[in-house]
Every structure is written in structure tokens, then in C-alpha cells.
Amino acid sequence: MALRRFNFGVTLSSWKMKYSTHSDPLGTNLKERQAQMMKKGLPVKKPIEGVKNVILVASGKGGVGKSTVAVNLALALSRHLPSQDVGLLDADIFGPSIPTMMNLSGNPLLTDKNLIKPLVNYNIKCMSMGFLVDNNAPVIWRGLMVMSAIEKLLRQVDWSPLDYLIIDMPPGTGDTQLSIAQNIPVAGAIIVTTPQEIALIDARKGALMFQKVGIPVVGLVNNMASYACPNCGHHSHIFGATGAEKLSKEIGVDVLVDIPLDTSIMEAADGGYPIVISSTSNNPLVQAYMSLAEKVLSRLSAIKDEPSR
Amino acid sequence: MENEIPEHCPGVQSEAAGKASTCDGCPNQKICASGEIIVEDPKIMVGIQERMLNVKHKILVLSGKGGVGKSTLTSMIARVFAQDLAKNVAVMDIDICGPSAPRIMGVEGETVHQSGSGWSPVYIGENLSVMSVGLLLASPDDAVIWRGPKKNGLIKQFLSEVDWGSLDYLLMDTPPGTSDEHLSIAQYMLPCQLTGAIIVTSPQEISLLDVRKEINFCRKVNIPIIGIVENMSWFVCPKCRKESEIFLATTGGARQMASEFNLPFLGQIPLDHRLTQACDEGIDFFEEYSDSATASAFIQLVKEIKAHIKE
């Protein structure tokens, strides 16, 4: 992925003569011109047909609960807006968790237009690498193959019509993240982290990456925030206490919700019956996810209403 | 000429070179498909083999799943090995996007020096050293947003240019998944008599799903597996001291999986908030909490590992 080198040795006077206009007589809008020239080598963002809003659920760190949050967020959104269509894409090619969590399996069919039909459960359209390969088979691919697989999962799936597509990202800041960030317009990203400093270091990198590629980070999720001992009820901060707040202040992004480490969330996910639908709406855990969904929606509409910079 | 190379070229060195659907029409297709292209510069391979001749046991720490404790365990195991001052131990962190080793070992912010004999790793004590991309960044918060080939290049450099000296144990901490980093390390280390891989998991079925893939990956590329470790097996409440299981082993946990795959089960490590804190602060857990159940679990784990690698 080579950027074409632009010769900045061109003198200012020749710039002025070439690019000055009535509204900009000195032709001093250099930065914009430079940015435009640099962009020439990069892929152009093309929206997915029929999909209105794309939300990324990312981290930089593995194992902080991205998939669990993505699944429960998708279900919470669907409950919050029952007349709208929500989809869930599992972009983790190497360790797809969505099939297990959504209790889906089997080979997807093709439509007449040769698009892959997403599998549906709990009213959410889902697609994952897990539907296309055997459960035990490892996907041993280098980055380029991953890029082309992600492209297929984005564009050759019959998503339409969708109001919200949640993309469960894999850990890291590599090929998958870049491919998605550069190829489709994204409404916003949520960064999931645990309070542990080790997780925050990677979450910070994830946030920095989104900043670099121009994707707004709408908020942080402080996952596995604390654990209540089932015997005595004592709350332990197994992964630390103040981490997410600290990160929030550093990168200027709010913590949208604190989700405790709770065996029932994990059990529900493993069993393919996520907590948002398997438990009652007065369960504080369900309320946490519903509140997350509401906040994400309001942040997204605030971003849309902002005058373009 | 540039226009003729297909957009999604899998790479001339990849397995799919010349055979992928995207190769159709490329002028080099026949050459790639015939496998004539040499996989790697032989000088580099010789360089790596020379360095690795001085390393007695080369151990990979793998998982398939993120966040199960690979980095934590790699560092703790290294510290236990290094308690024997007669042994030289090193940790090589090839998680390029999320390097945790510098932080956990307490050397964040240190710099790597270059000498005539190569890059020198950062030392913690006399006999324990670390190399990680985290030590090469201007700031530990800098994000490394690289595609595969660049990561491959760095791993090659770590293996061929770092002057480890003579080592008894080299532990390699990997990122989650089965991608570029794993393929590269397998490609470079297998000709150097890799001792084997330790596979880390949590008891949860969602983790085991990914770990099964990792085990199959090892089998496919012929990486010997030393055994499986289960991390975060249980939690001891600091107040009432009662044990509880957070990540329920709904499908039998790692022990069951190990017997399914006919692999040694090396041990279990509990979830301990003092351990996560020690990792965050980069302090030596064994110095602070030497008589904790967690420390004993690690010492027992290392005993098992030693028993299996001497075979």
C-alpha cells in the first residue's frame, strides 16, 4: 500500500499562480491541496448498499468483551427501535464468536443475485466467518487474504435493508481494522476496555487509530468493571478500578456505561441466549446494555447534526 | 507494469501464490504457481539459525483467543525460570499491535541499544531480558498500524538481529489468532528446532472454540505442543476467602479439551487481582506475594513444563 510520493519542493510562487482563486487570491489553501494529493493512493470509501449506519465495536486488546458487547448492543438496539432493522457482522476471521453467542450455525444460502443471505436469529441479521468454515478448522491466512474476505463479508452479503450494522472487530490495529476503516463510511465506533492498564494501553492505540482514519469514537465501555462475590457480596475490582475514567479524560471520550463482570452474562453468551433477551428488563445488567444503546443512538445523531468541519 | 499486478495479490511467498482466483491474468502466475520462488532469503534463515543455536529451549506461548493471559503467563513463567540464577531467560514479544511485555516486566520506556553484534535486549536483573516492539516506539502510546508484510519484516529482524547471548529459555509471546505473526514465527522457527508451544486458555467455551483452532493450526504447521494451561480458573474473594468460578467451564474447561486432543494438561492459574495489579505496575509478583496460592500455582506450572520439555 504505497503512497505516491509528492514533491513538496514546488515553490510557493508557482503554487500561488496555479491554485489561487477569487475567494483565495493568494492560493494559501496549501494544506487542503496537500491532503488531496496524499489521498490519491488510498482506497475510496464506498457505502454498503442498503445499510444506513455502520457502528464498530472495537478495542485494541483481545478478550475485553467486544463480541459480548456487540451482541448485546445489537439486541438492545433492536429492542429500543423495534421497527428498524439491525444487523451484526463478525469481522474476526480467526476467532469468530458470533455464531455461538447468537445460537446460529449452518451454511448460508445464496440469493438470486448471488449474494450471501445472512442468517437471522432474535430478529438480527448475522454474518460471520464461523458460518463458512468448520468450527475446529483454523483460518491460517496472511493479511491480503483477510482483506479480500472482509470485503466479501461486507459487500457480497444481502444486508439490505439495514438501519444499523454493528461490526464486531477483532483485536489489534492491523489489516482487518484498516480494511474496514478505509473502505466503508462508518457512523461511529465504540471502544470496549477493561479497567486494567494493560488493556487501556491497547485501547488507547485503538482510539488513536480511529482518529488517524477519521472515524468518530462515540464512547468507551468499561467492561468487567467489578465482580460481586456470590458468597459475601463484596465487590472486587479484579482488573483495577480507575482505568477507564483515566483513559476517558486523556482522549476526551466519555465512558458510556460500566458493565460488571458477571457470570450470568458469560453463561448466557456461551449458551447462545444473550442476556438482553434471556433476562427480564429490570435486571440491572440488561438495563446497562439498554442504556448503552440509547446513548450510542443519541451520540450518533449529535454527530450527524454537527455542521461538517 | 504496475497496472498488471492484481489488486489482491496474495503475495509471492504465500501458499496461495499463483493459485488464488485473483492470480488469473497476472503475468507472473505460472512462476508463482510452480513454487520456484524461494520462500525466504537463505542468508536470513542462516542468520536466524545461528542466533537460535545459542538458545536451548525455544517456547511459543499461544492461544487463539485474546485476553486469556498469554502475556501475563509468559512473563510470570519467565520470572520463575529466572529464579534459578544459573539460567538465562528471555521474553520475545511478537504482538506488534498490542505489545504488553515491556509494561508487565517493568521496563516500559527503556530503549534498545544497537551494537556491533546486533540489537541488545533490555535486561531486568542479571539473567532475564525482554525484546518487544513496545521498546522501539517513541512513546508507549504510539499505535502500530501495520499490514502483514511489515510485521513479518520486524519478526525477521527480532530473530536475526537481536543479540540474546546464550540462553536457556526463550519465551515468545504471540498475539491472538492464526495470522501473519504466527505463520512467520512458524516459518522461521521450525527449522531451528522449536521446543514447542504452550497453549493458554480460560475455562469458557467461547475461548475453547478459538483454542481448538489454534491446536489444529499447530498440528497443521507441525509445531509440537508442550501442553495446555487454564488461566482465570477460579477467583478467591479477598474478603471471605471463598472460591468462586467466574468463567464457567460449561463444557468441561481446558482439562476436558486437553483429553479430547490427547495433550498434556499443565495446570490451572487462579484469577488474582494482585496479579493484574502487579502486571499493570510492572513489579515482580513473586517478590511481593511469594507465599500466595497464585505464586504456588505458577511454580507448579513451571515444574510441569520443565518435565514435559525434557522428554
Q: Across the interface, do A97 and B209 touch by the CB < 8 Å criterion?
A: yes
SS3 label, residue B31: helix
The whole-chain average pLDDT of chain B stands at 87
Which pLDDT does position A141 carry in this prediction? Answer: 84
Interface mutation target, options A4, A92, A94, chain B, most CBs of B under 10 Å: A94
- pTM for the model: 0.83
Q: Which of A2-16, A112-126, B49-63, B256-270 has the lowest mean pLDDT?
A: A2-16
Same domain as B107, residue B5: no
Are A205 and B214 within 8 A, CB to CB?
no
Q: Residue A16 CB: number of other CB atoms within 10 A? A: 15
Are B56 and B34 in contact by the 8 Å Cβ rule? The answer is no
Per-residue confidence at A128, pLDDT binned at 50, 70, 90? very high
Look over chain A and give the mean of its residue pLDDT values, rounded to a whole number.
86
Q: Do A270 and B246 touch (CB under 8 A)?
A: no
Q: Is A18 inside any structural domain?
A: no
Same domain, B232 and B303: yes
Compute the distance between CA of residue B216 and CA of residue A140 in angstroms, rounded to an integer: 10
DSSP secondary-structure letter at B108? T
In a domain, A17, yes or no: no
Going by pLDDT thresholds of 50, 70 and 90, the confidence category of residue A13 is very low
Are A190 and A223 in contact, with CB atoms under 8 Å apart?
Answer: no
Q: Give tens-digit pLDDT for B77-110.
A: 999 999 999 999 999 999 988 888 999 999 988 9
Q: What is the pLDDT of residue A307?
A: 61
Angle, vertex CA B61, rays to CA A144 and CA B189, nearest 5: 65
Q: How far apart are CA A258 and CA A195, in angstroms?
A: 10
**Amino acid at position B39, single letter:** V
Alpha carbons A64 and A57: distance in angstroms, whole number: 11
- Is-contact A116 A89, C-beta < 8 A? no
Enumerate the residues of chain B whose CB falls inside 8 A of the CB of residue A231: 237, 240, 242, 244
Q: Do A198 and B100 touch (CB under 8 A)?
A: yes
CB A171 within 8 A of CB B175: yes
Residue found under cell 502500530: B144
Of A40, A135, A147, A229, which to mutate for an interface test with B (greatest number of B Cβ within 10 Å)?
A229
Nearest chain A Cα distance for residue B217, angstroms: 6
Report the CATH number that the domain containing residue A209 is assigned in CATH.
3.40.50.300
**What range defines the domain where residue A117 resides?**
51-305
- Whether residue A95 and residue B143 make contact (CB cut-off 8 A), yes or no, is no
Same domain, B33 and B56: no
Q: Which chain B positions have a beta carbon within 8 Å of A198's beta carbon? A: 71, 100, 103-104, 276, 279-280
Phi and psi, residue B166, nearest 5°: -95, 130
Let me know whether B157 and B199 are in one domain.
yes
| Host H or E run for residue B93 | strand B89-93
pLDDT (tens digit, 9 = 90+) per residue, B159-208? 999 999 999 999 999 998 888 889 889 989 988 899 999 999 999 998 99
A260 and A289 Cβ atoms separated by less than 8 Å = no
- Do B34 and B159 fall within a single domain? no
**What's the confidence (pLDDT) of residue B7?**
57
Which residue of B61, B73, B145, B234 is the best one to mutate when testing the A interface, meaning the one whose CB has the most A CBs within 10 A? B145
Per the domain annotation, does A279 fall within a domain?
Answer: yes
Bridge partner residues of B171 (DSSP)? B59, B91
pLDDT classification of A135: cutoffs 50, 70, 90:
confident
d(CA A242, CA A178): 30
CB contact (8 A) between residue A136 and residue B273: no
In this structure, the answer to whether residues B147 and B60 fall within a common structural domain is yes
Residue of B nearest to A181 (CA): B145
The answer on B98 and B213 residing in a single domain is yes
Q: Are residues B24 and B51 in the same domain?
A: no
Could you give the number of structural domains in chain A? Answer: 1
Residue A110: CB partners within 8 Å, gap ≥ 6?
A116, A117
Cβ within 8 Å, pair A201-B216: no
Whether A107 is covered by a domain: the verdict is: yes
pLDDT for B33: 64
Residue of A nearest to B242 (CA): A231
Question: Which 8-state DSSP code applies to residue B164?
Answer: -
Contact between residue A256 and residue A220 where contact means Cβ atoms under 8 Å apart = yes
Domain that holds residue B31: 1-39
Please write the tens of the pLDDT for every residue from B45-64.
Answer: 888 998 999 999 999 999 98
N-term to C-term CA, chain A = 28
Q: Which residues of B are annotated binding-site positions for [4Fe-4S] cluster? A: 9, 23, 26, 32, 237, 240
Say if CB A99 and CB A168 are below 8 A apart. no
How would DSSP label each residue in B109-128? T---EEETTEEEPEESSSSE
In a domain, A69, yes or no: yes
**Number of folded domains in chain B?**
2
Residues A200-230: pLDDT tens digits?
888 888 888 898 888 999 999 999 999 999 8
What distance in Å separates the CA atoms of residue A209 and residue A200, rounded to the nearest whole number? Answer: 14
Determine the average pLDDT of the residues in B152-162: 90
Is A65 a domain residue? yes
Residues A222 and B153 sit within 8 Å (Cβ to Cβ): no
**Secondary structure letter of residue B6 according to DSSP:** -
Of residues B98, B100, B77, the one with CA closest to residue B229: B77
Backbone angles phi, psi at B171, to 5 degrees: -105, 130
DSSP A261: -
Q: What are phi and psi of A165, to 5 degrees?
A: -115, 115
SS3 of residue A128 by DSSP = strand
* Residue list for the binding site of B for ATP: 64-71
The pLDDT score that the predictor gives to residue B18 is 66
Helix B42-53 crosses helix B180-189 at what angle (to 10 degrees)?
A: 70
Whether residues B195 and B288 share a domain: the answer is: yes
Residue among B232, B235, B237 nearest A231 (CA): B237
pLDDT at residue B138 in the model: 81
pLDDT of A249 reads 92
pLDDT value of residue B44: 81
Pairwise CA distance, residues B135 & B132, whole Å: 6
Which of B8, B140, B277 minimises the CB distance to A147? B8
Does the model's ipTM exceed the 0.85 cut?
A: no
B242, pLDDT greater than 50: yes
User: What stretch of H or E contains B229?
Assistant: strand B225-230
The grid coordinates listed for B285 are: 509478583
Among chain A residues, the shortest Cα distance to B220 is held by A138
In A, minimum Cα distance to B184 occurs at A142
- Asked if the structure places residue A26 within a domain, the reply is no
Helix (H) or strand (E) holding A256: strand A255-258
| Model confidence band, residue A45 (pLDDT cutoffs 50, 70, 90) | confident
Q: Which residue has the higher pLDDT, A100 or B241?
A: A100
Quick one: B113 and B148 in the same domain?
yes
| Nearest one of B267, B273, B196, B269 to B231, comparing CA atoms | B269
Residue B19's pLDDT band (cuts 50, 70, 90): low
Of B143, B204, B239, the CB nearest to A208: B143
Q: How far is CA B114 from CA A157, B39, B93, B128, in A?
A: 50, 28, 18, 18
**Position with higher pLDDT, A305 vs A232:** A232
Q: Are B34 and B67 contained in the same domain?
A: no
Across the A/B interface, how many CB contacts are shorter than 8 Å? Answer: 220
Residues of B in contact with A1 (CB under 8 A): 147
The answer to whether residue A248 is domain-embedded is yes
Residues of chain B with Cβ-Cβ distance to A174 below 8 Å are: 97, 145-148, 151, 179-180
* Same domain flag for B95 and B173: yes
d(CA A114, CA B192): 47
List Cβ neighbours of A88 (8 Å cut-off, separation of 6 or more).
Answer: A70, A71, A74, A98, A102, A124, A125, A126, A127, A165, A166, A168
Residues A251-279, mean pLDDT to the nearest whole number? 92
The answer to whether the CB atoms of A171 and B67 lie below 8 A apart is yes
